[in-house]
Structure 1
Amino acid sequence: MNPILILQTGTTLPRLAARHGDFPMWFARSAGLRRHEFVAVRVDAGDVLPTSSRAYAAAIVTGSASMVTERLPWSERCAEWLSDQVLGMRLPVLGVCYGHQLLVQALGGSVGWNPQGRQIGTKSLAASAQAKTDPLFGMAGSAFRAQTTHQQSVLAIPQGAEVLASTVQDPHQALRLGERAWGVQFHPEFSAGVMAGYIRGRSDRLRSEGMDPVQLLKECGPAPEARRVLQRFVSLARGGRL
């Protein structure tokens, strides 16, 4: 069975990395992948993107501390690669946070600073009518909890994209971007402990932005349905059903 390709676009806070590992391990743990069942490519550090996708079952694009609007050279190369994968129907793709935004930009949508500011913490998402028949979101119900941390958002979706989930602060929390591509602004790979670590790690900044880290920590908790979205993507892709 071909491995899952994880395109790593950044790294986590040093304290979280020391305790939980870095992004690829979070995805692997959440999706139930063993070490030989995924391949991580550190695109932001100069790793070369695969010239052929035939060796992989699917691709996942991680989050990042970088901003898509910076249009960094490595990011632009990754966007071009993703466009080729999606439009050429080569690989199932799941973009997460930065990966979600990059996928949208690659397919003709737009990304920018969220006019309502930063969103962080465990939030309740509303699923759309289209989500009911979606392979990844069909069992999530009309509302589900998810871990979030981002300042930029998708401002305009590509032509033909479908909104699958939203919050008041971010109407494009999850999108279907073709037959085999999805983007989620939330983090299905985060545990509650990782989410709390981000809140603690950014507590001074959050206070300066008028948010209450103590209250955010009280609201922080598990988000099993969001994690199942990731698990369904991996399971369906590895089974050849995407």
Structure 2
Amino acid sequence: MTKKLILLRHGFDPADDRVVTYATMNGFEPIILRPFAGDKIPPMSDDIVGSVIYGGPFCVFDEADHPFLLDEANWIQQCLDADIPLLGICQGAQQIARLKGAKVGPPESGMHEFGYYPITATEEGKDFLPETIHVAELHYHTFEIPEGAVHLASSALYPNQAFRIGEKVYGFQFHPECTIEGFRRWQETRQHRYAEPGVQSRAEQDALMMQADAEQAKWFYAFLAKLFPAQSPA
């Protein structure tokens, strides 16, 4: 029986990110769903072994305007109850944090991160991130660390970059799933962000991208291999 990873996306970008690549190369069936566009999330079943909730443009506290966020919150709770691995990226991390009672929203600084920024492990996150690396970022909201979670990483502008709940649930503010091709699309579609405080210029992004992408990919694939161990052939 092929094991499934449920991937909840919040846009129509091509599914060429590193999560999909890892899944298809390691024996999983990636089930890509877009609840914001009407896709229904299936009930939990024995063939579902993990889930990833991607970033997106939605404010996670706007459930009244975007009822699908309630469906995704219900899915997060199902994953927690079933004790399966779960990764929230950017908006997805904020959704997990909100479900666990943490505050989510724009920081008082008003700063944005769009580019490649260094993140550093906290003392408790040394096993998670042994050394400082540059990672792709695109956001202007943040999350507080949920009660009982482990704070794993920070950046200069956004102290809360990663957390872990238990041993199988992670939230990332950054985007290690994003390839160079994916970031190029962001540069074209998010040009209005370049005027915001904290955002790197396109020239800075281009230079850092070439230096950072391979290291980011290496780290993230190793992380995914631990969170979602490769499936043996049937």
Kindly state the Cα deviation for residue 153 of structure 1 after the two structures are TM-superposed: 0.8
Cross-structure match for 2:71: 77
Q: What do you get for the CA RMSD once the two structures are aligned?
A: 2.4
Cα deviation per residue 1:73-126 (whole Å; 9 max; x = unaligned)?
10122112202321x243110001111111111111111013332111011110
Q: When the two structures are aligned, how many residues end up with a matched partner?
A: 223
Q: Alpha-carbon deviation of 1:63?
A: 1.1
CA contact (8 A) 1:30 1:189 kept: no
Q: Cα deviation per residue 1:207-241 (whole Å; 9 max; x = unaligned)?
A: 3658533333333333344434542454332358x
Residues 209 and 124 (structure 1), Cα distance of their counterparts in 2 relative to 1, 3 Å cut: closer
Say which SS state the counterpart of residue 57 (structure 1) adopts.
strand
CA apart distance, 1:131: 1.8
| Residues 1:124 and 2:112 aligned together | no
Q: Does 1:50 align with 2:42?
A: yes
Letter in 2 for 1:10: G
1:238 to 221, 229, 232: 229
Higher helix share: 1
CA distance in 2, matches of 1:143, 1:114: 23
Does the Cα contact within 8 Å between 1:58 and 1:234 map onto a contact in 2?
no
- Structure 2 CA distance, aligned partners of 1:98 and 1:76? 14
Distance 1:197 1:41, change over 3 A: closer
- The alignment's TM-score, normalised by the length of structure 2, stands at 0.83
Amino acid at match of 2:171: G
| Aligned sequence identity (%) | 23
Q: How does 1:1-242 map to 2 (within 5 A)?
A: 1-12=2-13, 21-22=14-15, 25-31=16-22, 33-34=24-25, 37-71=29-63, 72-86=66-80, 88-116=81-109, 117-133=111-127, 137=128, 140-154=129-143, 156-207=144-195, 211=199, 212-221=201-210, 222-236=212-226, 237-239=228-230
Normalised by the length of structure 1, the TM-score is: 0.81
Structure 1: stretches of 5+ with no match in the other structure:
13-20
Structure 1's 196 and 97: CA in aligned 2 closer, same or farther, altered over 3 A? same
Measure, in 1, the Cα distance between the counterparts of 2:154 and 2:123. Answer: 12
Q: Mind listing any 5+ residue stretches in structure 2 that lack a counterpart? A: none
d(CA) in 1 for partners of 2:72, 2:20: 24
| Alpha-carbon distance in structure 2 between the residues aligned to 1:190 and 1:78 | 22
Which amino acid in structure 2 is aligned with residue 8 of structure 1? Answer: R
CA displacement 1:2-52 (0-9 Å, x = unmatched): 12211123334xxxxxxxx24xx3144542525962111212112111212
Match of 1:17 in 2: none
Q: Which 4+ runs in 1 deviate beyond 6 A?
A: none
Letter of the structure 2 residue corresponding to residue 108 of structure 1: G
